[in-house]
Structure 1
């Protein structure tokens, strides 16, 4: 069975992540791509059997599709998803699912009522370093986990005209909406639900209309504290992961290589895809010394492999929309906590 798929949006999400992954999973076909940008239209030529369309309206006017992938600006996620539900199409929404927890909760309920599969592209669950962290913690190699530190930082000190830089928080803009769903999702997968949130949201770049430098501290119900950093203005980065346990500390540096490899033209299945060229490893340190922990190969393709199974065999979807809703609830709690802190400072 071939699942004919339309990709709405062909920026980084569609061009670098979704389309190459879909093309690498034999059960999917990239049948339509929505973009009007001349450079992106040219890039879409890699998918010879795909129709390049000028608008999402053309997608929803068709009757020959099975799946819609929505990787357009955040505020369009819910409207496009609802149009897909009406056509009976399975839906993949790039994170965040919606621009509020309420909107996302409603989407999940509507998909269930319509009997339409809905999932969220939380590809960072399949980053190689995160897979390595999960495997090491499951093996109990650092003992009882006490602190989890996770940082996703880059150096982009000047604003651009990209929608992510000009959108307000109300439109789904800001780095908390962009990277927060990934980091929060990983923390929830490892340590379960959160009972307390502390947040520091800053705008560092001149003219910024949304946060571009964020710190979250999450207290999980099991007592673990997750400390999450996300920034567009970091000249030098923290470790990607640092996990402190009762018997040791696991540290990993650098971002997963799949995104830059895809941008450079590599594709899933190519030799070395998902593996750092320099052969780097995580380090497990304890009072007895240090040892290298080989990093697992990253495998974002596992998302679409699981989706293919769900749509053809009835297995569970790769990501439950309820997980995405919970992440957005935490983001909204974080925004509220940051506002309260600002008001408290203002009245002193």
Structure 2
């Protein structure tokens, strides 16, 4: 007889692009998680997609009228801190979409609050389970390129027309650096740890742009350089990852396909879910190329690990201290862009040591 799994009821705050495309299908794909409630200003859309899920107009009504155990926040960036605070104080565990908060101090506040209330607090860094990232991570661990000198991460889009949405407005938390940077920064920190300093240049390149839509950021690790590049005016021709070391170079040309699969309506756990047919291409010291298969990605693993953390006390997949470190690098880049100087992430010695232990 198969033992029935303990159920964690989930309340999702926000059913815009991120909530609808990522969180809802990933949560529904994990055995033991039940998407029980959604807060949305467009209940008709939710009911059309998910007729069995309760819909509420705001978080306070949901918290008062539902028995959800875990609250997932997928709302505009400037609402993350107050919504997470309300959920924690209401006795719920919390997952916050990236970016965690708008400032490092706000991130510290939420981390301390969750610790005092003995609640799990995590940040949705789903890109740790992308095929492209898993591939280059394995290459680095195996030493294929040798001692790494330069690592480039490109997260580009081609959207030449400025759209009427909060991400492209001159509002707190708007712009490309807050939108895509948390993914790139988190991946860099997972691979290399905390940088010595950050050097950044931002621009608003598109006609009518109201906020940052181009970013170039360099993380320094001694003489090693990690370059994070993002643009809204790249139609193609750039690689997702480029690595150069003393044994050769490696290119991962195309990005993970899970976002495209979700946009197309594919359900996680389908046969082709997360498969990546674009190989890792390595050039050796003689200039000869070698192709290596890219491992499959699986972003549902984030929510599986959230479930086991809550039920079995396993490790939180993305800890508050890791999220604080990401925010410190994001803020350092903002200060560097303003000053033109290299800026060290503003973390305490205790935070640095705690991050390195994770």
**TM-score after normalising by structure 1:** 0.93
Distance 2:153 2:281 in 1: 15
Contact 2:78 2:173 in 1 (8 A): yes
What does residue 214 of structure 1 align with? 215
Aligned to 1:145, which of 148, 163, 166?
A: 148
Contact 1:154 1:237 in 2 (8 A): no
* Deviation, structure 1 residue 54: 2.2
Contact 1:148 1:227 in 2 (8 A): yes
Describe the SS at the equivalent of 1:58.
helix
Aligned to 2:31, which of 26, 35, 38?
A: 26
**TM-score after normalising by structure 2:** 0.90
Instruction: Give ranges in structure 1 of 5+ residues lacking alignment.
Output: 343-348
What does residue 325 of structure 2 align with? 326
Aligned to 2:103, which of 100, 104, 107?
A: 100
Instruction: Give ranges in structure 2 of 5+ residues lacking alignment.
Output: 1-5, 342-358
What does residue 195 of structure 2 align with? 194
* Deviation, structure 1 residue 205: 2.1
Describe the SS at the equivalent of 1:22.
helix
What does residue 284 of structure 1 align with? 282
Aligned to 2:76, which of 64, 73, 76?
A: 73
Distance 2:182 2:246 in 1: 28
User: 1:69-120 deviations in whole A, cap 9, x for unaligned?
Assistant: 0000001100010111111111000011111111111111111111110000
CA RMSD in angstroms comes to 1.5
Say which is worse superposed, 47-56 or 315-324, in terms of deviation. 47-56
The aligned length equals 335
User: 1:40-94 deviations in whole A, cap 9, x for unaligned?
Assistant: x435533332112222232222241100000000011000101111111110000
Runs of 4+ in 1 over 3 A off after TM superposition: 43-46
Distance 1:339 1:166 in 2: 19
Aligned to 1:154, which of 138, 152, 157?
A: 157
Distance 2:42 2:204 in 1: 29
Equivalent positions of 1:1-348 (< 5 A) are: 1-37=6-42, 41-42=44-45, 44-168=47-171, 171-220=172-221, 223-276=223-276, 279-288=277-286, 289-341=288-340
Distance 1:335 1:147 in 2: 22
Describe the SS at the equivalent of 1:61.
helix
